[in-house]
Structure 1
Amino acid sequence: MIALVFAMVWARRGPALVLAVLAAFAVAPAVAAPAYLRAAGRVVAAGQVAQAAPAERTVSIRADDKDHRAAGTGPGGGVDLSTTGVSLVDLPGFRYAYSAEFATVGLERDDRRRTRLVQRQDVCAHLVMVTGRCLLGEGDVVLGEQTATRLKLVAGQSVSLSYAVFSKDPDVMEYTADGAPKRFFVAGVYRVPDPAEAYWGTHGYFAPDELAPGEPAFTDQTTFALMEHGDAELGVDGWAGPGALDVDRLPALRAALDRLGATVADLGADLSVPGTTSAGLRLESQMPALMARIDEGRTTAGRIVPVPAVALIVLACLAILLAVAAVAEVRRPETAVLALRGARRPHRWLLATGESLVAVLAGTVAGALAGQWLVDAVVAVRWPGVGADPHPGSFVYAPLAAAAVVLAVLLAQGATMLRPVSELLRRAPAPGRWAGLTVDILIGALAAAAAVQLALGGGDLVGVGATAPALVMLALALLVARALRPLAARSGHRALERGRLGPGLTGLLLSRRPSTGRVFALLVAAVAVSCYLVAASDVAARGRQVEAGLGTGADRVLSIRDTGRNQLLAAVRAVDPDGAFAMAAVRITQTPGEPPLLGVDSSRLPAVASWPGGGAADPDEIVAALHPEAPAPLEAPRGATVTLDVTAADFEHGKGVSMDAVLTPADGHGPDVVAPMGVIDPGRHTYTYSAAGCAEGCRLNALRIAGGNAVLGVHGVLTVHGWGSGDPAAWRVTEGGRLSAAPDGLRIDVTSLDGLPEGLLVQPADVPWPLPIVATGTYVPGSVTGLDYRQVPVTVAGRLPAVPGVGAPAALIDLEYADRVSADGAPTPGAQVWLSAKAPADVLDRLAAQGLEVTADIRAGQTAARLDRQGPAVALGYAGLVAALVAILAAGVLVLTAAAGRDRQVEDLSALRAQGLSRGAMRRAALWAYPVLVAGAVPVGVVIALAGWAATGWALPLAGLDPSPLPRPSWPSALSVLLAAATLAAVLGGTALLAGRRTLRKIR
């Protein structure tokens, strides 16, 4: 019997080969999906590591070494990190450096600034000596180049340093010596070639202090230990060496990091007992954030990859069901003869199914191997150097897919084997309507259940939810296919009635074939799945474009060291006077819970910023809304001295007020000037303050009036003479005051300062009030937090779908106007310079020449490259592969079903030809049967793909698990869907036409 089965396979090896290929299509995705997920995890990990910030590649253990002088212990009582730290930080492939530091005085002329005395292991290997030499013996110290120049020190000189502590006394607020001075020999002057090098850890050695650039004084361990000192900060910094963050090492690194965290927590708890001389250890690292992003990418890929994999398996099983049913239909006479000759039912089943099962078994083995090989090839081409890392676990689902294929074969054969012999001998047996309807109802119920589960589960594409897209589209395809055969029969009869023999015969041939509806359903489902996957890839790709462009804000965004807002504006305008490629921007800090606020030099928005789509307002309209005409700012008289002529009256004794003038240099060079005039005495007096920054003129931002600490009931009258207009309409006052005109100045009635810790502000009315902003969506704030952290009333003057660089909800404000109403005079964090693609290559040098220090450089292209290595983009590579395989599968089904019914079709058309059917009509009937199916399947499939996308596409995590607040596209572009449909029409239509031509050649 087995020999007979193999003989049957060999005799009909063509159909057997096609069936084996279909079985391979069902099994291959069951292997390829877990294999691709494993490879995708490696790709995601490698991409995240490559894009990781230096702080995410380092780990540090810190300890506060308490003042051992009072306790009478030796240095570093408790854990000695200089000897035990490296043994704690046992991370594979990492390099380590021990460090210790404390504050000293004696070098700087201003005791508000301390000198960081640092001992760091192997420091000389990471410094370039400008003059002198590096550290050799006890008492040596090396100073930074800028520090030496500023303090006029050279190699060979001696300096004295003393341990220092910071006094928080309001009357002191400076560093004071707290130890015996030690004499140091300045061995050399250094320069740091790479301040961002991982070796330096996260200590911020070279970050600027408030008064000068940061440059520690480095010494050796012996000198550090011998110097009398109190509290010191100890640390061990580890940074990744070559290959330490390779994908294959990440699991071991993660486990070692967990062990390190537990060890440090235990030791820290022991050391934090009151009375010990060393504080608990602290583990500092951003590496867990890197690991979390890798896990997030893998999780996202794990939710996307099963969707196309399940769709391909379902379609492959349906294709096998159709193919085997078509072959069984052709071989009905063989089955009838076996039954008439007395073959027992088991033997009949073996002969009927054995040929198909042998092909399926061969296809299963080939598909399992092909699935892994295909993933290996894709990874090698798209992500060379990462490696797919084949693993036996990829084959765990292959038996399940093979079982589904065998079940499809048995179901297809059962429809024939269970029929009576009399029906098997009929040339055109009655179709099994109830069996087919039962299958359709079952698939429809499964689709509905999967869709409901997906909705109730919040879009969790796990388990049954992963089958929802495939089942929904297949159910819709089967529903449409139900109407095909009646429509084909009706159109065929109408064509014959009109004398159109070719179309009429085509319609009748399609209506008489039991497999026509199923073939059409599979073609529709294949087109729908392919277009659905193309839609997912298109939506994800355009979403990544939005995040790279609109999310970054501009082609290039530079982060700037804290600087004054007016300095930032002036510097950028000096670098780009025409406003062609550069724009100043500040991310204005808001209170928790408030949407972000972005301040920009609004006149440059159209030329620099990435603009949101989706019907966003014209950039010029936004500029006009943000920066309407306003009065000119109030200019102070030029000169290096700020003078105020003020009369004070009606203030009670002991309840006077002080006044500060907050000014901004008109040329933008130098920080804002806060001119304290002190306590205002009764009567008329002139108050002066030396302000070199105002030598070229300053504009007045605010007069700040404050009472004494804990003094209540302050009230009185101030008259400011000679500053601007005395018209109160030209000024603006905050709560606690009232303005009116005086004969020779501005009268300020101080009504009450109770509950006003920031005092009373009097400002020129040189900006629109409330300040105009542009907000997103329906966000309507009454006020926002300004640059000086005060609440500023605003009005919404325009709307955008999203604010560039920030997203939605958010707001946009003009930076110049926001600066004019600020009254702090302090440098601003979050300063940025946005650049367009037209920015010159030397733009960083130009900005540096204007005094701006760039701390980070983010490019939209780099962001796009990073997004292309994240979970959604990597996972959708598999979706694109499946879309192509689905098209090939559908073409294979067309070839197989055409071959299975070719003999019957040739016989029928030959008989009609013998009875006088014209060659043209016969040619049209032979050629266009299957192309007509394709012509109907493609548009219907596109519609079903869009319906399936509406029902389930929202659940695909195409932007990751925690997407940024940007208006990403939710529907595919018409062009991508039309291109996919046209490609499928060409492939499937060409296949159908070739199959028809082969049939035509056999007709006599």
Structure 2
Amino acid sequence: MIQLVLAMIWTRRGQAVTLALLALFAVASAVASPAYLTAIDRAIAAGQIATSTAAERGVVIAGTVDNRVQSGAPDFANVGAALVELPGFTYVYGSSFPTVGLEKDAVYPSRLVFRQDACANVRIVSGRCLIGEDDVIVGAATARRAGLAAGDAVTLTFAAFVDDPHDPYWEPKGVPKRLVIAGTYEVDDTADPYWGSHGYFTSIPARGPTEPILTGSTTFATMDHGMTDLTIDGTAGADALDVDNLGTLDAGLLALTRKATEIGPNLQVNTEIPYLLQRIESGREAAHLLVPVLAVPLVLLACFSIFLAVGYGTQGRQSELAVVALRGSRWWNRWWLATGENLFAILAGAVAGCLAGQLLVNAVAAARFPGVGADPGWASLRYAPFAALAALAAAVLAQRRQLLSPVATLLRRNPVRVNGPRAIAVEAVVILLAVVCAVQLAVSGGSLTGVGLLAPAFVMLALALLSARALLPLVTRYATRALAAGRLGPALAGFQLSRRPGAQRLFALLVATVAVAAYATCAVDVAARGRVVQSELGVGAARVIQVEPVFRSQLLHAVREVDPEGRFAMATTRLRSGDSAEPVGLAADTTRLAAVASWPAGGPSAQEVAHELRPGAPPPMVIGGPDLKIKATAGDVIKGKELRLNVVVSSLADQGEALVSLGDLRPGEWTYEQNVAACSRGCRISGLQFMVNDKVVGVTGHLTIESVTSGAPGDTVTPAVLADPSRWRMPSFGRVSSAPGGLRVDIDAPGELPEGAWLHPVDTPYPLPIAYAGRPPSGDVLTGLDGFSFAVDDAAGLSAVPRLGQRATLVDLEYADRLAIDAAPALLPEVWLNHKAPPDIDERLTEAGLTVLSDARAAQVHSQLSQQGPALALWFHLIAGGLAVLLGAFALVLAAAVDRARRVEDLTALRIQGLGRATTSRATLWTYPALVGIASLVGVVTALAGWAATGWALPLAGIHPAALPLPSWPRVLVLAGAAALVLLVLAVVALTTGRDLRSRIKP
């Protein structure tokens, strides 16, 4: 009996090979999914480690000890046992304490630092490095500022902080020690992991970047000092961060933390490695959701292909099965002869599929994740038996009719009706499952767990079956009309499709094939565009540099000095939100908005918004020199309730803002004056403040301002402008009016004046125009740069504000700064850059007075997103799409091979009766290509419907995505291109089968 089955396989070896390949794809799909997840787990870890920051690869063990009081000091020696639990780390010991004596003032201390191997990590500019006792080396910038050079002596003293509420400072608290400056140094990369995160090189206002005073261990120990910082900085090497050692690393960190806790509260372990490990785990979780989304429909599609292929093949040999049944063979012989041929082919394909699935993943991993490896193992085969059993069940199910039908039915040439109640019931079950899965996905809020994970597969399968059921009536109607019109070729092709019992299922299979490929295209394209939005719009520009806090006028002046033409740089800072309900705000130099910022789609252009945010405004009121003088006449001054006059000025150069106190108002005419160093090159008047002492209530009075000048050329506060009430704004506690000789200000404050009564020059549009994303600000007011509210006018609605997201506001920085009266540094000052920024932009910004803190780049963020779990998981979608197309192609080949004998017989008979060669060619060549063309179109529509129902739930945006307008639909051209490629592959297969059929028709 086995020999007979083998003979049958050899006779129909083409069909057997095709069926084996379908089984191979089914099992390979089941093996590829877990194998790819294993490979991607390693790739995610490797990618996140490669794109991690220095802080995420290091650990800092820190403690403090009073050198004069040893009790309670942290015992660093006991930490050694825990450090053994962290193999692969390199450690640097360091200690430091504050000193005074190097700088001319005592507002900020200098840090005397001992750091292991310091000489190997600095570049000596002058002199030499450390050799003997009492040697120190000083930063080159510090030496220039202090007027020191190599070989000079300096006396340093341990310092302690004096928290004076009016004038805090550092005072000497130790025995002075005379030290020799052996040399001066520079550090090429202050962010190098060697220096840790101790802030050695932070910037100090009005002083610039700081640099530690480096010395040897002997000098450090012999100098009298008190409270001292002790640190051990560990940096993970390649072995510690190997993807196979992450479990050991996590356990070692826990042991180190426990050991530090046991030693005492003065010892702390600071590390961001747990955040790195958490990000790796979150990426793996997202990948384990995305991969099965197409792995499940791929396996279902493979089983459907086997069901269709076996059904086609069995129908082609019904006469053989009829002879077996007619001879009265026992039921097991009949079953064996009916199923043996297919079972052998499926089992052979299943065995090959186990190997093929793993090899496919190995090849993809080697190409996409070089150096990571796929970590092959038996675990990837855990689903292979289930896929093989599913393939066998599909084969047996496809032959149930031939196994159970009587001889008379098997001998019929015309097939029985296949769209009976059973077929309708099966399709109804599939549709019901699709509805249940989609509803579960919606109710769970997009949770891809349970039946929700099966939603994409069953939705696409159900839509494919419904479209196939609607096809046959349409094809039959078309064929009938073609026959009536005398178009025999199209009529014969149409009747071939409508009368073949497997044509409907073949069409459903082809629709599902295209749908799976198109769905994969949707996921890949939407995710790729989402990463672009997150990296560009999320960062704000191609590059964003955060600088040390400076005054807003200094920030604007420095950036405009570096880029006077506004081609590549833009200054930005944040508004001070009043409460959590108020949207975050961005103030940007909108003269450069269109040139620099990444801009969201779906709204007005950057040029339009910049025009709306910066309309024309009156010129500012300025003085030309440092000698501020205000001539004014005060009246109704009540003793004990005297008003104090303050003026906020903003430098026109780069010297910041200042709050200038001019003293109490005196009755009669007086000239109030003060020298303001920040106004040496001119200042803008930001506002006048009338203050009283605390708890004073019921303040009244009036003042006539006659002149505001500095006695220097360039003053523009002319009497006409000064006396014009329309050029001034007093929002509360008073009013302004014109008076003989100047501007009259009447103060009326029944209650207290905690913030004073403010008089603002009108040199901006008011209310200030803003652009916003989300809802407009409540009450048409917004908290400004100084923390005070101002009125706003909604100028433009955006889908998102660059860098801040979908609930934020945008204002012009210069106008917002003119409204501000706090004379305080900017909040989160940044310099946004485009791709035209020169390579030495950091140096240029430093020369302009800005100190770089951090540097975020859109390209770097995009690279990080591309290494996260969702991005890497989508490569499996490409694999699934390719396998789906191959399944459809092989099923089409097998269907054509089974149909070939019957069609050759029919068309040969028609040729003998006079059917023309051209008509025969059209009937043979365009039957399956027409089917493929219609299926491709319907498949794309099916994929879009499935995407609408389930695509929103896919975690495509990465881990913890920002609130940005991420794309939710694929681009038309991308989807059309993918569909055209699938159509091309299937059409080539269909045309090849048609040409083969035509060549067999005689004569």
| Range into which the TM-score falls when normalised by the shorter chain | over 0.9
In structure 2, which of residues 862, 865, 870 is the aligned counterpart of residue 864 of structure 1? 862
Name the residue aligned to 1:332. 318
Name the residue aligned to 1:282. 268
Name the residue aligned to 1:275. none
Does the aligned pair in 2 maintain the 1:307–1:469 contact within 8 Å? yes
CA–CA distance in structure 1, aligned partners of residues 293 and 601 of structure 2: 30
Verify: 1:140 aligned to 2:135, yes or no. Answer: yes
Does the aligned pair in 1 maintain the 2:771–2:794 contact within 8 Å? yes
Note the 1:559-958 alignment, pairs <5 A: 559-591=546-578, 593=580, 594-614=582-602, 616-636=603-623, 638-666=624-652, 668-681=653-666, 683-723=668-708, 724=717, 725-752=722-749, 756-781=753-778, 782-958=780-956
Q: Quick check: 296-305 or 129-138, which moved more?
A: 129-138
Residue 761 and residue 417 in structure 1: after superposition, are their counterparts in 2 closer, same or farther (change >3 A)?
same
Note the 1:552-563 alignment, pairs <5 A: 552-563=539-550
Deviation at 1:536, TM superposition (A): 1.6
Residue 546 and residue 217 in structure 1: after superposition, are their counterparts in 2 closer, same or farther (change >3 A)?
same
Residue 726 and residue 153 in structure 1: after superposition, are their counterparts in 2 closer, same or farther (change >3 A)?
same
In structure 2, which of residues 942, 958, 961 is the aligned counterpart of residue 960 of structure 1? 958
Does the aligned pair in 2 maintain the 1:81–1:98 contact within 8 Å? no
Query: Could you report, residue by residue, the CA deviation over 1:181-211 in whole angstroms, capped at 9, with x for unpaired residues?
Result: 3333333322222211101111111001234
**Which letter does structure 2 place at the counterpart of 1:697?**
G
Residue 962 and residue 242 in structure 1: after superposition, are their counterparts in 2 closer, same or farther (change >3 A)?
closer
Does the aligned pair in 1 maintain the 2:583–2:777 contact within 8 Å? no
Does the aligned pair in 2 maintain the 1:18–1:892 contact within 8 Å? yes
Deviation at 1:88, TM superposition (A): 4.3
Deviation at 1:541, TM superposition (A): 1.7
Deviation at 1:707, TM superposition (A): 2.7
Name the residue aligned to 2:31. 31
Deviation at 1:993, TM superposition (A): 1.3
Deviation at 1:753, TM superposition (A): 8.5
Does the aligned pair in 1 maintain the 2:18–2:890 contact within 8 Å? yes
Residue 674 and residue 968 in structure 1: after superposition, are their counterparts in 2 closer, same or farther (change >3 A)?
same
Note the 1:242-253 alignment, pairs <5 A: 242-253=238-249
Does the aligned pair in 2 maintain the 1:773–1:795 contact within 8 Å? yes
Deviation at 1:125, TM superposition (A): 2.1
Name the residue aligned to 1:202. 197
Name the residue aligned to 1:53. 53
Deviation at 1:715, TM superposition (A): 4.3
Query: Could you report, residue by residue, the CA deviation over 1:382-437 in whole angstroms, capped at 9, with x for unpaired residues?
Result: 23222222232222111221121111111112132121222111112312422221
> Is the partner of 1:229 in helix, strand or coil?
coil
> Is the partner of 1:483 in helix, strand or coil?
helix
CA–CA distance in structure 2, aligned partners of residues 846 and 778 of structure 1: 39
In structure 1, which of residues 185, 188, 194 is the aligned counterpart of residue 183 of structure 2? 188
Does the aligned pair in 2 maintain the 1:296–1:960 contact within 8 Å? no
Query: Could you report, residue by residue, the CA deviation over 1:570-625 in whole angstroms, capped at 9, with x for unpaired residues?
Result: 222233333233222223343552322111111222222222222x2133321221
Does the aligned pair in 2 maintain the 1:86–1:236 contact within 8 Å? no
CA–CA distance in structure 2, aligned partners of residues 704 and 206 of structure 1: 38
Note the 1:438-587 alignment, pairs <5 A: 438-587=425-574
Deviation at 1:813, TM superposition (A): 0.4
Name the residue aligned to 1:416. 402
Does the aligned pair in 2 maintain the 1:564–1:828 contact within 8 Å? yes
Q: Quick check: 833-842 or 77-86, which moved more?
A: 77-86
CA–CA distance in structure 2, aligned partners of residues 436 and 691 of structure 1: 92
CA RMSD of aligned residues (A): 2.3
Deviation at 1:313, TM superposition (A): 0.7
Does the aligned pair in 2 maintain the 1:376–1:387 contact within 8 Å? yes
Deviation at 1:85, TM superposition (A): 5.8
CA–CA distance in structure 1, aligned partners of residues 159 and 737 of structure 2: 52
Q: Quick check: 398-407 or 147-156, which moved more?
A: 147-156
Deviation at 1:681, TM superposition (A): 4.9
Deviation at 1:702, TM superposition (A): 1.8
Q: How many residues align?
A: 986
Deviation at 1:487, TM superposition (A): 2.9
In structure 1, which of residues 294, 310, 330 is the aligned counterpart of residue 280 of structure 2? 294
Structure 2 runs not aligned, ≥5 long = 709-716
Query: Could you report, residue by residue, the CA deviation over 1:636-688 in whole angstroms, capped at 9, with x for unpaired residues?
Result: 2x22322333455444444434333221222x222223323344455544343
Residue 861 and residue 89 in structure 1: after superposition, are their counterparts in 2 closer, same or farther (change >3 A)?
same
Does the aligned pair in 2 maintain the 1:527–1:937 contact within 8 Å? yes
Deviation at 1:475, TM superposition (A): 0.6
Deviation at 1:744, TM superposition (A): 3.1
Q: Quick check: 573-582 or 708-717, which moved more?
A: 708-717
Does the aligned pair in 2 maintain the 1:25–1:312 contact within 8 Å? no
Residue 247 and residue 785 in structure 1: after superposition, are their counterparts in 2 closer, same or farther (change >3 A)?
farther
TM-score by length of structure 2 reads 0.94
Structure 1 runs not aligned, ≥5 long = 273-278
Name the residue aligned to 1:157. 152
CA–CA distance in structure 1, aligned partners of residues 385 and 323 of structure 2: 35
CA–CA distance in structure 1, aligned partners of residues 177 and 895 of structure 2: 95
CA–CA distance in structure 1, aligned partners of residues 594 and 257 of structure 2: 49
Residue 95 and residue 682 in structure 1: after superposition, are their counterparts in 2 closer, same or farther (change >3 A)?
farther
Verify: 1:235 aligned to 2:231, yes or no. Answer: yes
Residue 663 and residue 803 in structure 1: after superposition, are their counterparts in 2 closer, same or farther (change >3 A)?
same
Query: Could you report, residue by residue, the CA deviation over 1:46-99 in whole angstroms, capped at 9, with x for unpaired residues?
Result: 22222222222221122233x464xxx42x734222673684484231111222
Deviation at 1:843, TM superposition (A): 3.8
CA–CA distance in structure 1, aligned partners of residues 491 and 682 of structure 2: 93
Name the residue aligned to 2:713. none
Does the aligned pair in 1 maintain the 2:576–2:786 contact within 8 Å? no
Deviation at 1:992, TM superposition (A): 0.9
CA–CA distance in structure 2, aligned partners of residues 665 and 609 of structure 1: 27
Q: Quick check: 431-440 or 21-30, which moved more?
A: 431-440
Name the residue aligned to 2:385. 399
> Is the partner of 1:901 in helix, strand or coil?
helix
Q: Quick check: 645-654 or 539-548, which moved more?
A: 645-654
Name the residue aligned to 1:304. 290
Query: Could you report, residue by residue, the CA deviation over 1:755-786 in whole angstroms, capped at 9, with x for unpaired residues?
Result: 55433322211111121101124333432232
**Which letter does structure 2 place at the counterpart of 1:53?**
T
Residue 88 and residue 746 in structure 1: after superposition, are their counterparts in 2 closer, same or farther (change >3 A)?
farther
CA–CA distance in structure 2, aligned partners of residues 162 and 630 of structure 1: 55
Residue 596 and residue 171 in structure 1: after superposition, are their counterparts in 2 closer, same or farther (change >3 A)?
closer
CA–CA distance in structure 2, aligned partners of residues 849 and 112 of structure 1: 24
CA–CA distance in structure 2, aligned partners of residues 111 and 323 of structure 1: 88
Deviation at 1:169, TM superposition (A): 2.6
CA–CA distance in structure 2, aligned partners of residues 86 and 770 of structure 1: 65
Q: Percent identity?
A: 49
**Which letter does structure 2 place at the counterpart of 1:517?**
Q
Residue 449 and residue 323 in structure 1: after superposition, are their counterparts in 2 closer, same or farther (change >3 A)?
same
Name the residue aligned to 1:81. 76
> Is the partner of 1:579 in helix, strand or coil?
coil
Name the residue aligned to 1:348. 334
Residue 734 and residue 949 in structure 1: after superposition, are their counterparts in 2 closer, same or farther (change >3 A)?
same
> Is the partner of 2:269 in helix, strand or coil?
strand
Name the residue aligned to 1:107. 102
Q: Quick check: 984-993 or 5-14, which moved more?
A: 5-14
Does the aligned pair in 1 maintain the 2:727–2:762 contact within 8 Å? yes
Shift >6 Å, 4+ stretches: none
Q: Quick check: 563-572 or 416-425, which moved more?
A: 563-572
